[in-house]
Structure 1
Amino acid sequence: MEHMEHVHGTYDWPLVVFSYIVAVVASYTVLNLVGRISSTTGRFRVIWLLFGAVAMGMGVWSMHFVGMLAFSLHEPVAYDPIIVLISVVAAIAASFFSLSIVCKRELQIRQLMSGGLLLAAGISAMHYIGMAAMQVDITYNPWYFALSIVIAIVASIVAFWLSFYFHRGSGRGLLWKKALSGLIMGAAVVGMHYTGMLAADFYMGGKSDSMMGIVLDQKRLAYFIVGGTLVTLGLSMYAMFISGRMARKDREIEAGFKWHESLFNNNQDGIITVDLQQRIIGFNPAMTELTGFTGDMLMHRPIGDVLNFIVEEEREQTREMFMRSFAGQTQNYETAVIHKDGRRIDLSVINVPVEVDGEIVGNYIMARDITEEKRSKERIQHLAFHDELTGLPNRRRFDQLLSLEITKKASRFAVMVMDIDRFKMINDSLGHLYGDIFLKEVSKRISGSIAGKEAVLARMGGDEFTLLVGGRYNDDELGVMAEEIIREIGQPYHLKDNDFYVTASIGISIYPGDGTDTVQLLKNADTAMYEVKRNGKNGYKFYSSELHKKLQEKIELESDLRKALALDEFFLHYQPQIRAGDDTIIGVEALVRWNHYKRGIISPGAFIPIAEETGMIYELGTWVLREACRQMKQWHDAGGPLIPVSVNLSSQQFHQPNLTRYILEILEETGLEPQYLELEITESMMMDPVVSNPVLNELTANGIRISLDDFGTGYSSLSYLKLLPIHKLKIDRSFIRDITVNANDKAIVATIISMAQHLKMDVIAEGIETKDQLDILTDNDCSKIQGYYYSKPLPANELEKAFLEMMRAAK
């Protein structure tokens, strides 16, 4: 070494700075390349690996070579081009293999360490092989040499870890993080190079005397390499940027396709795609399930084949709607298809034209099963216009049909309004459940009686039914029809182990004579029906102008009736009950009268039905009961005789809660003892013994007597007499009227008297007007009489003078 001269070099600092810039740009490029390589597969991965290895190797080599050229020994130095080329290959090869190890979707520590060591070995090899290309003798300080190797290893591992870390990240700060990492990595790579240069001692002589390499213009070549490398790396980054944009676009397209595919395949609505040649080019599983058609029946088949499965009545409309969609119009419509298993499936269909660049290229046919929805709508529609209990048309539907008939300007048709007499009694006594059963049977019977006739039956609510009857029937035929209905309704109804009898009242109005609109026709039919009820029920009547006058009177009477109690217009008459043997008074019946402020005395037959219809009967009945008890207590206090007073109890009073307490309160208020009050009830109140028996037993237990009024005129069972606590039977005047000339009436009366005596009941006959009637009754051992033969109903003061004072005087 004696002939070799140790030389010291100097650095061109601008080139040193440029070498750092090259290292930073190369590091930044590597950070992006790792992410790109990790996200690709197949042959594109190999291409990106090659591209990345070249970019990375050339970047690191360029930094090294520029750094070498930045160092000057003040003597010309030649470079061996073969060795320089080997150093380049070493950098690229190490980059390729290390990148292939590290660039994975999931980076494990083993891969990180092996890839980093491999890259560090390549960089170190590239550096020291490149140093060996200099035609000068070099020795190395082992400590600095080792330090350069450590720096290379740490820089490589950190570079790969940062590359993987930033590959998983996102957000606006990612660019700055990569830039900062590039600065750090560039500093590490430069640090490795200049540490290695610091480890080297250069000697002139030896190799330098036999210079066989190429002597380079250091500055110009260095700047040329810096420029070329930066341009190359810049182009690389630009290529990655463009590639990234294209990859993102591809990912967006692929994601959009997958979204579309997922929506298409998982849509609950059936979808068919049709091209311009009207061939099916796609369908989803929902369409197969919806129609039962298999892929062979759909794919690449003309859409007309599917139209053949549309129900015949909808086929033409469906075809027309489909053709319109090819003209660019979205179509919404309903149709129906026959499923492969034979079921009819109702569909809601949308035909959507598919446009590409403003031109129609096909159609989407989207279908949804609305079979259940349509059935539900039909059920709702049916319920909206039909009675839920009977299934008959309801009031709304009847009004529609009636309005339609009027709109047709028919020459004639009839409206019948019918009401079931005594239905309230059944409903109140048996309960709503049996009331509903009864109404269904009534509707069935009416429907049966008009079967085959031009008539529509409707239930308006409660027990009110209406009929719309065609114009081909004259008045006589309408009367026959009404009689048939009344006869059918009058047959017994077996409810709760008993037979019940009801009747019907029917009112009839004729279009156009009795009205030209729905309201007037129904109102006038109602008027006729209420006239039937007023005259005893169980019949029919045609509307007339006279009925209109009566209705007006009834309306006025109802209005006045509501004021009558407040005006103190009611009063009582009392009809004596006589024992025929000695003509002694044994009781009185209280009968209400109304002294109208304009019309004078009005009979009970005129206002009691109105009071019952309007619900005022409870208030009126309470007044009658209180006044009768008060008057009888007054007579008792005046010296008697101690006889009972009979008071008719209305159905509403009988079925009120706590009836016994209500009556006992009146007795306590008036001071009358219970045994002197006799309540007259009708057979209809006892139709349900389960309800009536406890009430009657409670009244009887408190000393109140029970009389069964109008016995024999109703339809009740004789078993009631055995089950219920009845003290007295009252023979109705209808049996007494013809008792002298009608053998049947005479036999019935005799039977009633005998039965009452055997049941240990009192019996009294009402309506006695002649001596012959009285003789027949006394001959049959009925001595208790009520009627005009002895006295008409009298005011309290007249009855007292005519009967009570005489008995007091006889004491």
Structure 2
Amino acid sequence: MDKFYIEGQLNKTLKKLKDIEFALNESSIVAITDSRGIINHVNDKFCTISKYSREELIGKDHRIINSGYHSPEFFRELWSTIKNGEIWKGEIKNKANDGTYYWVDTTIVPFLDDKSRPYQYVSIRNDITDRKNIEQDIKQMAYYDPLTNLPNRYLLNRRLKEVLLNKNDKHQTAILFLDLDRFKSINDTLGHTIGDSLLKEVGQRLKSCLRETDFISRQGGDEFIIFLDFINCKQEVIKVANRILDKLSPPFFIGNEKILISASIGISLHLIEDKQKINKETVNDSIETLIKQADIAMYYAKEIGGNNYQFNTPVLNEKIVRNLNLEKQLKQALEKDEFSIVYQPLVNLTNGGILRVEALIRWENSQFGMISPMEFIPILEETGLIVPVGRWILKGACNQMKKWRDDGIQLSRIAVNVSPIQFKHHQFIKDIKQILKDTQLEPELLELEITESVIWDIKESMKILKELKSLDVKISIDDFGTGYSSLSYLKHLPIDNLKIDKSFINDLDKDGEVIVKTIIDMGRNLKFNVIAEGIETEKQLSFLKNQGCHIGQGYFFSKPISPQEISELLLN
């Protein structure tokens, strides 16, 4: 064969190899190591992504860029594959010289000698860091709560499924369903920005209460679910629950606000005998049942005052079913005309004369009969139905007051309770103006009773209170003494009355008398009328009169009665 032809073919082959090498170097990260893994060649792209110079890399092995992300088993499997002369493919997370991390899609090709033993390895890598970051972002959005960065319900379900399907030991597991007490009131009065910051800090405190084997997730709103694994006895769960309650008890300082909060915790246990009933077909139902049972127990903890934990029992299941049915019925109660308004007199404690009345809602349902306001009003507030229902009460009370006045019954005022949610609603002032216009009631005849929690957000509350005062509507602070009013704010509020909470009147021991006397003296000094509610005995009445309390109400004088009975009482 012609010598020049052979040289020409050789040159062509060398040119092709050079072109392939050039293309490879331009498109990929390349490294060549000997049979022991010692680096003897890297291209420019390897140096660029690893931020090491050639001199720093040559003679080292790949541990120089080990990120610590992968397990020893991962690398043992990799080396086992290539030492057997097989190609290995996979994704590796490495660490650059400046401490940053990057991901590479890697192919390692072993080159074999005439005895089929690897004498060198060529690693061809492609940078997939951006793709992995996007995947991580997607995973974060799919499985983590964006506010607290805690796992969400989807990740909790996945974790529970793994544990329940694979548990063969004798340990129990537990679900703790946690809901913050009065969080909605905090959100409505202080604003969502402070509410969100509070939730973040609550999440951090909760995490600090748990063991490494425990799992916490945020379900949304102010609800958190905690999963406890490797539980030997019920007492261990109780310890965790108490630790959580203690951890949440110190105040939270957010911006200029000092916020006290507590939680209600419901607990369901997954017992050892239950594990034998779980398989791939039933595991989702088992998870749903566990969470629902804990949710039911949480509602009971909240119902008995909050800041406590309760275990799920059959009795609690009945209670929650009733609450759910009540909620369903409440959504139709207005249009079915099931609500009514009764009125309780407020009397002059000096002469016993009736001065005004307070409007109180009642609900009689075709299915459940007469339901206590203590039971259905919290449901109205939780569902937001308190806004239209509150509007209905206001209009009904104002219409009744107008009718009494037109009939010559000279009540000085009618008082109506206003929920914090209703008070903060953007339509509230507009609703008041429209109701006064529609009923043609003089504004000074209407008195609105608000709770202390309304004035936590003093700037926003002051604006609304001033608008009400400009209309000449009267304002009372209801249940005074049970909240956290700042006395420095109280003296500047445009209010007319303080209503002493009936719990103080019910408990007139030595300390109780001191508290009531202090409130009366303070109200008098601040030029407020002081009203005592819940008066039931002659002894209570005598004490209040002696302390100079102006006005009172309670069963000692009259229970809440119908408009007709009020008319008869006053006319007689």
TM-score surpassing 0.5?
yes
Distance 1:279 1:397 in 2: 42
Distance change (3 Å), C-alpha of 1:511 and 1:744: same
Distance 1:608 1:705 in 2: 24
Q: 2:231 aligns with which of 472, 480, 483?
A: 472
Is 1:777 aligned to 2:544, yes or no? yes
The equivalent of 1:743 in structure 2 is 510
The equivalent of 1:412 in structure 2 is 172
Kindly state the Cα deviation for residue 504 of structure 1 after the two structures are TM-superposed: 1.1
The equivalent of 1:437 in structure 2 is 197
Q: What is the SS of the residue equivalent to 1:723?
A: coil
The equivalent of 2:347 in structure 1 is 578
Is 1:714 aligned to 2:483, yes or no? yes
Distance 2:487 2:295 in 1: 36
Is 1:556 aligned to 2:325, yes or no? yes
Kindly state the Cα deviation for residue 335 of structure 1 after the two structures are TM-superposed: 4.5
Kindly state the Cα deviation for residue 347 of structure 1 after the two structures are TM-superposed: 4.0
Kindly state the Cα deviation for residue 550 of structure 1 after the two structures are TM-superposed: 1.3
Distance 2:483 2:246 in 1: 17
Kindly state the Cα deviation for residue 373 of structure 1 after the two structures are TM-superposed: 5.7
Is 1:333 aligned to 2:93, yes or no? no
Question: 1:25-40 alignment to 2 at 5 Å?
Answer: none
The equivalent of 2:161 in structure 1 is 403
Amino acid at match of 1:525: A
Distance change (3 Å), C-alpha of 1:295 and 1:500: closer
1:136-170 Cα distance to aligned partner (Å, 9 max, x none): xxxxxxxxxxxxxxxxxxxxxxxxxxxxxxxxxxx
Q: What is the SS of the residue equivalent to 1:647?
A: strand
Distance change (3 Å), C-alpha of 1:536 and 1:342: closer
Distance change (3 Å), C-alpha of 1:279 and 1:648: closer
Question: 1:101-120 alignment to 2 at 5 Å?
Answer: none
Contact 1:683 1:716 in 2 (8 A): yes
Q: 1:628 aligns with which of 378, 389, 397?
A: 397
Distance change (3 Å), C-alpha of 1:470 and 1:787: same
Is 1:365 aligned to 2:123, yes or no? yes
1:398-456 Cα distance to aligned partner (Å, 9 max, x none): 222322332215552221111111212222333332222212222233333x2558643
Distance 1:671 1:542 in 2: 53
Is 1:790 aligned to 2:550, yes or no? no
Kindly state the Cα deviation for residue 472 of structure 1 after the two structures are TM-superposed: 3.5
Kindly state the Cα deviation for residue 597 of structure 1 after the two structures are TM-superposed: 1.4
The equivalent of 2:299 in structure 1 is 530
Contact 1:307 1:315 in 2 (8 A): no
Kindly state the Cα deviation for residue 705 of structure 1 after the two structures are TM-superposed: 0.5
Is 1:637 aligned to 2:395, yes or no? no
Q: 1:351 aligns with which of 90, 100, 108?
A: 108
Distance change (3 Å), C-alpha of 1:532 and 1:481: same
**TM-score in terms of structure 1 length:** 0.62
Aligned residues: 549
More strand by share: 2
Question: 1:27-176 alignment to 2 at 5 Å?
Answer: none
Amino acid at match of 2:260: Y
Q: What is the SS of the residue equivalent to 1:365?
A: strand
1:490-518 Cα distance to aligned partner (Å, 9 max, x none): 32222342322222111111113998711
Q: What is the SS of the residue equivalent to 1:526?
A: helix
Coordinate RMSD, CA, aligned: 3.6
Kindly state the Cα deviation for residue 649 of structure 1 after the two structures are TM-superposed: 0.6
Distance 2:297 2:503 in 1: 26
Contact 2:267 2:312 in 1 (8 A): yes
Question: 1:169-208 alignment to 2 at 5 Å?
Answer: none
The equivalent of 1:223 in structure 2 is none
Kindly state the Cα deviation for residue 457 of structure 1 after the two structures are TM-superposed: 2.9
Distance 1:558 1:392 in 2: 30
Distance change (3 Å), C-alpha of 1:670 and 1:245: farther
Is 1:756 aligned to 2:514, yes or no? no
The equivalent of 1:14 in structure 2 is none
Distance 1:399 1:336 in 2: 28
Kindly state the Cα deviation for residue 564 of structure 1 after the two structures are TM-superposed: 1.4
Q: 2:183 aligns with which of 409, 423, 427?
A: 423
Distance 1:678 1:341 in 2: 68
In the alignment, structure 2 segments of 5+ residues that lack a partner are 276-285
Contact 1:272 1:287 in 2 (8 A): no
In the alignment, structure 1 segments of 5+ residues that lack a partner are 1-241, 807-811
Q: What is the SS of the residue equivalent to 2:491?
A: helix
The equivalent of 2:315 in structure 1 is 546
**TM-score in terms of structure 2 length:** 0.85
Is 1:447 aligned to 2:214, yes or no? no
Kindly state the Cα deviation for residue 484 of structure 1 after the two structures are TM-superposed: 3.4
Between 1 and 2, higher relative CO (CA 8 Å, sep ≥ 6) is seen in 2
Distance change (3 Å), C-alpha of 1:339 and 1:315: farther
Q: What is the SS of the residue equivalent to 2:301?
A: helix
Question: 1:369-388 alignment to 2 at 5 Å?
Answer: 369-370=127-128, 377=135, 381=139, 384-388=142-146
Kindly state the Cα deviation for residue 394 of structure 1 after the two structures are TM-superposed: 2.6
Amino acid at match of 2:535: I
Q: Which moved more, 1:783-792 or 1:435-444?
A: 435-444
The equivalent of 2:151 in structure 1 is 393
Distance change (3 Å), C-alpha of 1:487 and 1:316: closer
Q: What is the SS of the residue equivalent to 2:227?
A: strand
Is 1:799 aligned to 2:558, yes or no? no
Kindly state the Cα deviation for residue 551 of structure 1 after the two structures are TM-superposed: 1.4
Contact 1:349 1:367 in 2 (8 A): yes
The equivalent of 2:262 in structure 1 is 503
Q: What is the SS of the residue equivalent to 1:506?
A: strand
The equivalent of 1:488 in structure 2 is 247
Distance 2:132 2:558 in 1: 74
Q: Which moved more, 1:368-377 or 1:602-611?
A: 368-377
Contact 2:265 2:309 in 1 (8 A): yes
1:569-600 Cα distance to aligned partner (Å, 9 max, x none): 11111000010222211110000001111332
Q: Which moved more, 1:520-529 or 1:419-428?
A: 419-428
Kindly state the Cα deviation for residue 316 of structure 1 after the two structures are TM-superposed: 3.6
Distance change (3 Å), C-alpha of 1:789 and 1:259: same
Amino acid at match of 1:531: Y
Distance 1:679 1:401 in 2: 50
The equivalent of 1:86 in structure 2 is none
Contact 2:188 2:420 in 1 (8 A): no
Kindly state the Cα deviation for residue 470 of structure 1 after the two structures are TM-superposed: 3.7
Q: What is the SS of the residue equivalent to 1:782?
A: coil
More helix by share: 1
Contact 2:175 2:290 in 1 (8 A): yes
Kindly state the Cα deviation for residue 370 of structure 1 after the two structures are TM-superposed: 4.9
Kindly state the Cα deviation for residue 788 of structure 1 after the two structures are TM-superposed: 0.5
1:104-125 Cα distance to aligned partner (Å, 9 max, x none): xxxxxxxxxxxxxxxxxxxxxx
1:581-623 Cα distance to aligned partner (Å, 9 max, x none): 2221111000000111133222211211111112211111111
Q: What is the SS of the residue equivalent to 2:186?
A: helix
Is 1:321 aligned to 2:81, yes or no? yes
1:705-725 Cα distance to aligned partner (Å, 9 max, x none): 110000001122222312321
Q: Which moved more, 1:409-418 or 1:662-671?
A: 409-418
Distance change (3 Å), C-alpha of 1:273 and 1:262: farther
Larger Cα-atom Rg: 1
Distance 2:397 2:305 in 1: 28
Kindly state the Cα deviation for residue 481 of structure 1 after the two structures are TM-superposed: 3.4
The equivalent of 2:338 in structure 1 is 569
Q: What is the SS of the residue equivalent to 1:708?
A: strand
Distance 1:514 1:761 in 2: 64
Question: 1:632-781 alignment to 2 at 5 Å?
Answer: 632-739=401-508, 742-781=509-548
Amino acid at match of 2:105: S
Q: What is the SS of the residue equivalent to 2:231?
A: coil
